[in-house]
A and B are shown apart, each in its own frame.
Chain A
Amino acid sequence: MKKGPGNLYVCCHVGGLHIGVNLDWVQEINRLTEPTFVPMMPAWLRGLVNLRGNLVTVVDLGSVVCGAPVEKTSAARTVVVEIGDEILGLVVDSVGDVVDVGGRAVEGLPSHVPASQRSWFSGMVQLPDDLLLLLDVNTLRTLEADGARAGCA
């Protein structure tokens, strides 16, 4: 992979995993404010937030990927990503650096990663002291509200 734009990932921590969200998707990163809860929705959907007049669907990345909701701590953040005409807010435990994965090989996920988790990631990059799972943001759009895909290992 080449260095530079397109290869920059925001490194997020979710339930012990390091997940990279491509910076191109990211609009902004906010402190976690509790969104407006929407009844009858699966647990991973934390609700809706009014972001300057636009509605942001707040998705708990912890619930989606690890099956445990992100706790509201001072470190918790909402990573706002824009995909197509939808704006999603990804709730993560904390946000670390922006890393440039250019020049590193994107590998497949190791075999011990359960199938339910695999679908969220497009690949994995080895960092000097970390494994960065690259989030496939598009799959988040296909999360089913009936919870079919929300079940996690």
Chain B
Amino acid sequence: MSADDAELDELVNDFVTESREHLAQVESDLLGLEASGEAPEEATNRVFRAVHSVKGVAGFLGLENINRLAHSLESVLDLMRKGRLEPDAGLVDVLLGAIDRLREMIEAVGASDGMLIDDQLTRLAAYLEGDAQQVRKVAPPSVEVPPGHWLLQLSVATSRLALEFGVDAPQLVEEIARVGTLQSGAAELMRAVDEGSREAVVVVLSTASTPEEVIERLRLESGEVTVLREALGGVAEAAPRPAPRQEAAAPTAAAAPQPAPAGVKPAAAEPPSATPSPAPGRDNKDKEAAGSPAKRADAHQESIRVSVELLDRLMNLSGELVLGRNQLLQALDSGNDKGVETSSGRLNQVISEMQEAVMRTRMQPIGTLFQRFPRVVRDLAGKLGKQCALDADGKEVELDRSILEALSDPLTHIVRNSVDHGMEMPDDRRAAGKQAEGCVRMAASQVGGNVRIEIVDDGRGIDPRRLREKAVERGVVTPAQAATMSDREAVNLIFAAGFSTAEKVTDVSGRGVGMDVVRSNIERLGGTVDVTSQLGVGTRLTITIPLTLAILPAMVIACGARRYVLAQANVAELVQIRDGEGAARIAELNGRELLRLRGSVIPLVRLRTVLGEPPAETRREPIVVVVESSKLRYGLVIDAPPDAEEIVVKPLSRHFKSRPEYAGATILGDGTVAMILDAVGIANRCDLGEVAEDLLGEASLREALDGDEAVDLVLFQNHPEDTFAVPLGLVDHIRRVSPQDVREVGGRTVLAEQDRALPIVMLDRVVPSRPVGDAKVLSVLMLRIHDQTFGVVASGVEDIKRVAVQVDDRTLAMEGVIGSFQYEGRTVRLLDAGAVAQAALPHCFTAAPPKKQDAAPQRAPRVLFAEDTRFFRQHVSKVLQGAGFEVTEAEDGDDAWQALERGESFDIVVTDIQMPNCDGLQLTRRIRGSAQHRDLPVVALTSLSSDEDQSDGRAAGVTAYLIKLDDAALVAAVRNYMGALV
């Protein structure tokens, strides 16, 4: 192969790659045009430009057929661009048909000149004809062409040519006249030049020169010249011929145009039987015969586009490689063992990175595959008389191109199936109460080490009963098997060999080879496919493909001495549990930790436990990775904030397959190996599925966990038989002390510390209870009330529980106790911490409350308090009244609002957040929205105060956010805001 040939091949390759992209873009734009029903300039221009550039390059490369079809397309598009044609469905059909043909020719570029394009040309010409009066005028049918002359139609871009030749209008006409005789269009040409019009003028020229020569002499582009009639006789032979095969056909082609009206675009004039006319291409190199198409087709090699950034990276890495080699050689020369080690380590890393980068060059977004489907759906729906749209999500998910290619056929089949079998006719859909237009949704996402592709339609669904019947009928399963099958299994029968879901065989799908081939193709890629369907509602096909080669955006998580990787796709969010917040947000249920997240509860898994690592020694603020996969959501507790890194999944030996925790392994940037965690596998191993079901199944539990009435309590024992609870919000921290540190000093109990004595309470002195027994270690719950810290001694702290407080405040009413409730078969008394503090340590708390009292207004400050739970309502009222406020209770936000509207005056509003009818935030918004009450301070009480809640509250206009049962803080806050007011 000569250098020239190689160069040409290269050009052809580039052309193919580029054209492919152009056409893909064209297709989606055309579909968009059709959908919008008009021709937005931008999209039409884009289409026009794309076709134009295909045309241009094809002309340059002498790809005559491609050039002609593109030219014809371009002409029609030009009309659209000028608003002379509306892109209705018919036109778009024709355009798409032509684009298809163009694509076929481009894919078999070497053989393109042998392919028939007459049909497409005729159809396109029909549209041109509608607008062809002008053209007719310029080229009357009765043109007499001398023998040996060509009749050419030129599209003359006057402004360009005038510029190029540096001439004015008459000169340009002269210039053209020198080449041949202007049969028509001279006047238009003059006018266009004079007006400086940018639009091309179509003229007809008869000339003894070959089109090539005309192109050259008039500095036209090959696409701007169309052969209307070929030169007859000996002169024509002088024209170079691209291939003998076509030469054989030339007489027919040459003879054919005679009966055709010359004025119509030549495309229309081509009789269907004619092979493409042998208008000469520019490349005279490609003369050698019939073998050439095949040769070209072979020579055409696939190419893909690689981002410059990636190339730069490769370049950079290869530079590093050279550097590493030099260092290694140097170290070897000087016998520097250490140096050898260092530089080979370095090389190792560089090469790894290089390998990654090379792999990345192969990655392509799945969008390149998806973008063909709107077309597939459109055509098919049109053919079947259905209405159907296609939605695609996750186009940016990258897959190795080999996988993408292999997915193409299965996906096409599935989508066609969805439209053909899944979609009902528009009337049926309306009858079923659906929109006439159905929708097929394709979505790609990365899930762990896999890419998941879902194809969901909202069609009629699959009838498992029918499938069972048919499966039995066709001997796919026995009647007994069919009877024991679940519906889900039955629906999956569509994948059985030789099983077509078609009720009747159509030409669209259902030819017997079908979903079984789809399944085997996907399984060949190491993937799985699953179908679920709901009769009358729709069908969902889920394809899961391992992204063995895929680049995975991932989080690198340190655990113990090692690092692990979790696919970013699994991560919904990161939640940092701050020091004080930990206990409030992490609750426990049946031995399982749960995280409260914006009103929902998700199970927690500690990564250390999963990996068999000992619990973290230092008590750092834990970070929860909220993991989301198809069926579950849970929190993975990790030690430290993760790093983001892009990783390449490396194949693992089969030994790891049986461990559900791992999805694979990777090599991190620094060359170390890290296992990729499998979010679903971890969940399965921890039986999280069960928890989720528990939560769903038992309404009471959910209520207990979700309801605002639930409260985080620290449960502890004074005596093993006496269990108490204290709101977590009041507990500052818990200490473990030895009994000898608890001392009696002057009738008071203190905890001896190095430089001071902390006041503490033995509960049995305050509340009827048995004393703390002999214990080697005592726990002291340090409570903070009115900015004073004191301890409550306990024999043991049981746990922090989130419990539904259905507090009975009567049965066990006594000093220091708010009430009691039942928990796991025991009676737990809820401590009134404030009362306990006051009773036990009067000296600590006498001074604090009256402090503000001095500045208090004459009348008792009035508090409007909205709370739907009786217990809290009574409790908080009691607390506020105890602090000297006058409290008006309201059962919900509405109630409270009515109180305000009645004209009662209040100094402050205290409200629960979650209430029926009108919740706390709504109430706040109403207050802020009213002229009269706008300035009232609003204190919101909630059992959980997360950042999101708080920002919601702030947005609504809440003045302060407090945690329920933190009575001291409430009193302080009410005082504080009231102080500001008074």
Contact = CB atoms under 8 A, between A and B. Distances in A.
Nearest to A144: B658
Interface in B653-673: 653-659, 661-662, 665, 667, 671-673
Interface stretch (B82-90, B162-170, B348-356): B348-356
A45 B667 CA distance: 18
Given A48-B665, A50-B671, A52-B351, A38 B653 contact: no
B646 to A, nearest CB: 15
Contact of A141 (B355, B653, B659): B653
Most buried by A among B351, B612, B673: B673
Contact of A36 (B348, B652, B659, B672): B672
Nearest to B347: A52
Interface in A39-63: 39-41, 45, 47-50, 52-55, 57, 59
B671 A57 contact: no
A97 interface: no
Interface size class of B (residues with CB under 8 A): 20 to 34
B562 A36 contact: yes
Nearest to A42: B655
Nearest to B666: A55
Contacts of A87: 653
Contacts of B348: 50, 52-53
Nearest to A36: B673
Given A39-B613, A40-B611, A50-B348, A86 B672 contact: no
B667 A53 contact: yes
Nearest to B670: A50
A146 B656 CA distance: 10
Contacts of B612: 39-40
Contact of A50 (B352, B356, B611): B352
A104 to B, nearest CB: 32
Interface in B612-667: 612-613, 650-659, 661-662, 665, 667
Nearest to B356: A53
A145 B661 CA distance: 12
B659 A41 contact: yes
Contact of B659 (A49, A53, A145): A145
A82 to B, nearest CB: 11
A10 interface: no
Contacts of A123: none
A54 B653 CA distance: 11
A117 B856 CA distance: 89
A55 B352 contact: no
A3 to B, nearest CB: 33
B33 interface: no
Interface string A67-95: 00000000000000000011110000000
B285 to A, nearest CB: 44
A63 B673 CA distance: 22
B525 to A, nearest CB: 15
A102 interface: no
Given A38-B675, A50-B348, A55 B659 contact: no
Contact of A86 (B355, B610, B653, B662): B653
A88 B655 CA distance: 10
Interface string A128-153: 00000000000001011110000000
Interface residues of A, number: 27
B650 A54 contact: yes
Nearest to A59: B655
A57 B651 CA distance: 10
B672 A50 contact: yes
B656 A41 contact: yes
Contacts of A144: 655, 658
A37 B562 CA distance: 8
A92 to B, nearest CB: 18
A55 B673 contact: yes
Interface in B549-583: 562
B317 interface: no
A53 B673 contact: no
Contacts of B352: 50, 52-53
A49 B352 CA distance: 13
Interface string B591-613: 00000000000000000001111
B972 interface: no
A59 B662 CA distance: 18
A145 B656 contact: yes
Nearest to A48: B673
Contacts of B220: none
A37 B352 CA distance: 20
B656 to A, nearest CB: 7
A69 B798 CA distance: 43
Contacts of B562: 36-37, 39
Contacts of A86: 651, 653-654
A141 B654 contact: yes
B655 A143 contact: yes
A45 B655 contact: yes
B655 A57 contact: yes
A36 B559 CA distance: 13
A37 B672 CA distance: 11
Nearest to A39: B611
Interface string A98-139: 000000000000000000000000000000000000000000
A129 B242 CA distance: 79
Contacts of B772: none
Contacts of A48: 652, 665, 673, 675
B232 interface: no
A89 to B, nearest CB: 10
A145 B655 contact: yes
Contacts of B651: 55, 85-86
Interface in A1-53: 35-41, 45, 47-50, 52-53
Contacts of B665: 48, 55
Contacts of B661: 40
A32 to B, nearest CB: 16
B674 interface: yes
A133 to B, nearest CB: 22
Nearest to A141: B654
Contacts of B657: 145
Interface in B28-76: none
B655 A50 contact: no
Contacts of B674: 36
A49 B673 contact: yes
A102 to B, nearest CB: 31
A85 B352 CA distance: 18
A43 to B, nearest CB: 13
Nearest to A146: B658
A40 B564 CA distance: 13
A55 B655 contact: no
Contact of B667 (A40, A55, A145): A55
A33 B418 CA distance: 55
Contacts of A45: 655
A55 B655 CA distance: 13
A10 to B, nearest CB: 20
Contacts of A35: 673
Contacts of B672: 36, 50
A145 B658 contact: yes
Contact of B662 (A38, A47, A85): A38
Most buried by B among A45, A47, A48, A87: A48
21 contacts: A35-B673, A36-B562, A36-B673, A37-B562, A39-B611, A40-B611, A40-B659, A40-B661, A48-B675, A50-B352, A50-B671, A52-B351, A53-B667, A55-B651, A55-B673, A57-B652, A85-B651, A86-B653, A88-B653, A141-B653, A146-B658
Interface of A: 35-41, 45, 47-50, 52-55, 57, 59, 85-88, 141, 143-146
Given A36-B562, A40-B611, A86-B654, 19 more contacts: A36-B673, A36-B674, A37-B562, A38-B662, A38-B675, A41-B655, A47-B673, A48-B652, A50-B352, A50-B672, A52-B351, A53-B667, A55-B652, A59-B655, A86-B653, A87-B653, A88-B653, A141-B654, A144-B655
- Shortest 5 CB-CB distances between A and B: which pairs? A36-B673, A57-B653, A53-B352, A39-B611, A145-B658
